């Protein structure tokens, strides 16, 4: 059985009623999905969806590119969400310098503040990093004491050297659709070097559909394609890989069952 550790099912305009999709997940072997917020509204919806659907858990937080949505008091509102029974992490948080005009200082402050929020709640963090590898690593190193509950570099796309630095911090690395792409030679190398007990997988739905579905609307139904590619790259039986990832997910996100 597969566990999607990062998806955004909180997109009503893309997925609509989740009933049909969730019914199809069991047929695909996908047992659990973590529904991840990127601002207050999406985090509230993820919480509602998780509480109404047994296969779903959720994470709450502000994505670095969505800080413009932040309003006074939203930090307290996110903190209240973290105490709900099906909340397993603070996320998606981190740094994203991809777009011109980005307020990098504001992103770093928000990232540090949410690391502190996660530490106070005793929850792991789900970390986004895009075009900001050095600052992400430096900020995590500076805030290592706030990572007691652990964390994951979601949809990892960095270098082997960066992967080793994150692993040294005790973090997990999660792989999504890009690991299946034909030009993903660097990711192939990273997927092979990650220790078995630090490996996770995800879809990052609705984004980054894996091959051969690249360019289409992604859903957790496509997760087996990511698992199969990881098993192929690592030379491991698919069933054993799935068992190990389930164990890893339960070790990081404590409310999940291996």
pLDDT, residue 92, reads 98
Instruction: Look at residues 147, 93, 142 and name the one whose alpha carbon lies nearest to residue 124.
Output: 147
CATH code of the region 2-252:
3.20.20.140
pLDDT, residue 162, reads 97
Residue 258 has pLDDT above 80, yes or no: no
For the chain, first and last CA: distance in Å? 10
Least confident of 16-25, 171-180, 198-207, 228-237: 16-25
Residue 185 has pLDDT above 90, yes or no: no
Residue 51 has pLDDT above 80, yes or no: yes
pLDDT, residue 168, reads 98
Strands (E), the chain: 2-7, 30-36, 56-60, 87-96, 125-130, 151-153, 172-175, 199-201
Over the stretch 52-96, which tens digit does the pLDDT of each residue have?
999 999 999 999 999 999 999 999 999 999 999 999 999 999 999
Q: What is the average pLDDT value for the chain, to the nearest integer?
A: 97
Residue 21 has pLDDT above 80, yes or no: yes
pLDDT, residue 184, reads 84
Over the stretch 121-151, which tens digit does the pLDDT of each residue have?
999 999 999 999 999 999 999 999 999 999 9
Domain residue limits, the chain: 2-252
Residue 238 has pLDDT above 80, yes or no: yes
Average pLDDT over residues 95-115: 97
pTM: 0.97
Q: Based on the number of CB atoms within 10 Å of its own CB, is 67 exposed (0-12), middle (13-18) or buried (19 or more)? A: middle
Hey, what are 237's tokens? 């039986």
């Amino acid at each position: 059985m597969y566990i999607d550790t990062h998806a955004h099912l909180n997109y009503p305009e893309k997925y609509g009623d989740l009933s049909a999709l969730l019914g199809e997940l069991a047929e695909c072997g996908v047992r659990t999905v973590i529904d991840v917020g990127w601002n207050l509204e999406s985090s509230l919806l993820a919480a509602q969806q998780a509480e109404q659907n047994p296969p779903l858990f959720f994470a709450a937080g502000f994505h670095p590119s969505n800080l413009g949505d932040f309003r006074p008091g939203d930090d307290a509102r996110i903190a209240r969400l973290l105490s709900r029974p099906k909340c397993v992490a603070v996320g998606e948080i981190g740094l994203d310098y991809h777009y011109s005009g980005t307020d990098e200082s504001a992103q770093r402050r928000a990232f540090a503040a949410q690391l502190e929020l996660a530490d106070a709640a005793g929850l792991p963090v789900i970390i986004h990093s895009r075009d900001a590898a050095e600052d992400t690593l430096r900020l995590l190193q500076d805030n290592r004491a706030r990572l007691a509950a652990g964390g994951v570099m979601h949809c990892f796309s960095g270098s082997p050297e960066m992967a080793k630095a994150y692993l040294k911090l005790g973090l997990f690395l999660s792989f999504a659709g890009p690991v299946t792409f034909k030009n993903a030679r660097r990711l192939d190398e990273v997927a092979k070097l990650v220790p078995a007990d630090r490996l996770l997988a995800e879809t990052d739905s609705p984004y980054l559909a894996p091959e051969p579905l690249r360019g289409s609307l992604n859903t957790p139904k496509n997760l087996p394609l990511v698992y199969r590619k990881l098993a192929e790259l690592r030379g491991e039986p698919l069933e054993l890989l799935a068992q190990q990832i389930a164990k890893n997910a339960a070790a990081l996100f404590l409310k999940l069952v291996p």
